């Protein structure tokens, strides 16, 4: 994940055929959003929407797994 997240390099250095990795990487969206906010003073709503969408999907998946397995927690603990 570290090398797929543009922390030490600019996202425009990525070749066009690999740009989907930056687009769908939630850590890259967060880093690029913070970078745009601090360096340019603007918010990129595309990156923020990717973060919210990823958060909602992971919350729904996590809750469904929790509800499916919550009756076995006593056995595991």
Q: What is the pLDDT of residues 25-41, one digit of tens each?
A: 888 888 888 888 898 88
Q: Is 3 within a domain?
A: no
* pLDDT above 90 for 64: yes
Residue 74 near residue 49, CB atoms below 8 Å: no
* More confident position, 53 or 23: 53
Residue pointed to by tokens 């923020």:
48
The verdict on residue 9 lying in a domain is no
- In angstroms, what CA-CA distances link 70 with 58, 61, 65, 77? 17, 14, 8, 11
Q: Count the domains in the chain.
A: 1
Give domain status of residue 13, yes or no. no
Q: How far apart are the first and last CA of the chain?
A: 32
Q: Residue 7: inside a domain, yes or no?
A: no
Q: Is residue 50 part of a domain?
A: yes
Supply the range of the domain harboring residue 36: 22-76
For the question of whether the overall pTM of this predicted structure is more than 0.75, the answer is no
């Amino acid at each position: 994940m570290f090398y797929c997240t543009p922390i030490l390099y600019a996202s425009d250095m990525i070749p066009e055929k690999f740009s989907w990795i930056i687009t769908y990487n939630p850590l890259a969206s967060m880093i690029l959003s913070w970078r745009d906010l601090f360096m340019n003073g603007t918010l990129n709503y595309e990156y923020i929407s990717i973060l919210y969408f990823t958060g909602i999907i992971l919350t729904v998946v996590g809750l469904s797994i929790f509800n499916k397995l919550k009756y076995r927690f006593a056995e595991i603990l």
